[in-house]
């Protein structure tokens, strides 16, 4: 599972011109799910996400987590994170999980993040054409791959 975490002062996702979800200070996360991902990947990433100390403390040092600041999370599925660009100019998405595998994992990730954060999170809609807007605060952007946790 690959994720892109962006520290934001606000973020939203629109589907068919209507806002599906919006957050203020917190994390906007893109998640790419591959065939071999499982509950272990979700658990590891979810704990890392809510405890990642990337928000400033009183000395402007990145020392606080989204939990510490009572921040929000917006989680968006994005299969293109698994694009392979080794050959030619058209990306291949062969590593991205098929919907019958990815959708249940995405839904489990939502539930796990909500449990870790202690409140509901904002989400996109799996497979929808989404328009994501955000103000990246910092900017702070972090990439994580659950296959590189050791």
Strand partners, 7: 27
Q: Is 141 a catalytic residue?
A: no
70 burial via Cβ count (<10 Å: 0-12, 13-18, 19+): exposed
Tell me which of 25, 80, 123, 141 is the catalytic residue. Answer: 80
Nearby residues of 127 by Cβ (< 8 Å), 6 or more positions away: 77, 99
- Hey, which residues are catalytic here? 80
């Amino acid at each position: 599972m690959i994720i892109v975490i962006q520290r934001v002062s606000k973020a939203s996702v629109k589907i068919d011109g209507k806002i599906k979800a919006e957050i203020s200070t917190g994390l906007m996360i893109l998640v790419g799910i591959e065939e071999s991902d499982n509950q272990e990947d979700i658990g590891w990433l979810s704990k890392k996400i809510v405890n990642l100390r990337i928000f400033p403390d009183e000395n402007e040092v990145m020392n606080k987590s989204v939990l510490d600041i009572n921040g929000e999370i917006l989680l968006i599925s994005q299969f293109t994170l698994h694009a392979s660009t080794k050959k030619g100019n058209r990306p291949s998405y062969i590593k991205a999980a098929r919907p019958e595998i990815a959708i249940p994992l995405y839904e489990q990730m939502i539930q796990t993040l909500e449990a870790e954060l202690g409140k509901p999170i904002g989400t996109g809609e799996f497979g929808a054409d989404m328009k994501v807007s955000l103000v990246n605060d910092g900017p702070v952007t972090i990439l994580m791959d659950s296959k590189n946790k050791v």
